[in-house]
Amino acid sequence: MKIALIGYGKMGKEIEKISNERGHEVIYKIDKDSNLKNISGADVAINFCTPETALQNIELGLKSSIPVVSGTTGWLSDFNKIQELSKNLDIRFLYSSNFSLGVNLFFDLNKKLAEIMKKHDQYDLNIEETHHIQKVDKPSGTAITLAEGIIEKGKYNNWSMDNEKKSIPIECKRIDKVAGTHIVNYSSELDSIEIKHIAKNRTGFALGAVIAAEWIVDKKGVFEMSDVINDPNFKF
């Protein structure tokens, strides 16, 4: 499989390493100084760029008739635009706030716990996310996905970093050399119930992105990582 790699920072380099190990070839390495107008010849594009350049880079892939797998967060105000473009061009697109298998299992666990806890008003909910100091967007896309999973269950209307009423509070921390930690905590005067996911390195994210790229090549439509994991033929 020939890959166009959009974003060539630490994550991009990890994706390149895993792609090579799995027998693929990276034929484009696109960073912030690149000025490519077309990436034809690639079988798939994997996008991990900055939030500011996400829209134009995803459009670059789709308009080159290349399926795009994107893990960039902080750009979702433009998601509907990309979804519509993907459908109009009949080009595959897959977005996930986190490609780690463990995190996607954590998403499911979070929803199941939210279903149980919505009946127990004595517990206050809090989400905490911690990342390395180079991470620009706050809160993380993973924290937002966790909050959205809880909102689905009907007790909360929104999430907030400012403790707004009826919103899920999200606390953000930036600490050097932390790959990513997410905690969902329900606390009362008597006890606390907590689930936590700790990423030990970037490898899990990068491997998941490459697997998603392998999966999407022969598909049609707009997808998320749960579609990959829930595929009966999926093997991690």
By annotation, the residues acting in catalysis are 131, 135
Beta carbons of 141 and 129 less than 8 angstroms apart: no
Q: Give the bridge partners for 223, in sequence order.
A: 94
Read off the amino acid at residue 67.
P
Phi, psi of 70 (to 5 degrees): -125, 130
Instruction: Report DSSP state, residue 162.
Output: S
Do 206 and 15 form a contact (C-beta atoms < 8 A)? Answer: yes
**Secondary structure in 3-state letters for 117-167:** HCCCCCCEEEEEEEECCCCCCCCCHHHHHHHHHHHCCCCCCEEECCCCCCE
Inter-residue contact 2 to 42 (CB < 8 Å): yes
Q: What tokens appear for 30 in the block? A: 């696109």
Q: Using DSSP, state whether 74 is helix, strand or coil.
A: coil
Query: For residue 192, which amino acid is it?
Result: S
Distance CA 11, CA 98 (A): 12
DSSP conformational letter for 6: E
| Helices assigned H by DSSP within 118-231 | 141-151, 203-216, 225-229
- Residue type present at position 14: E
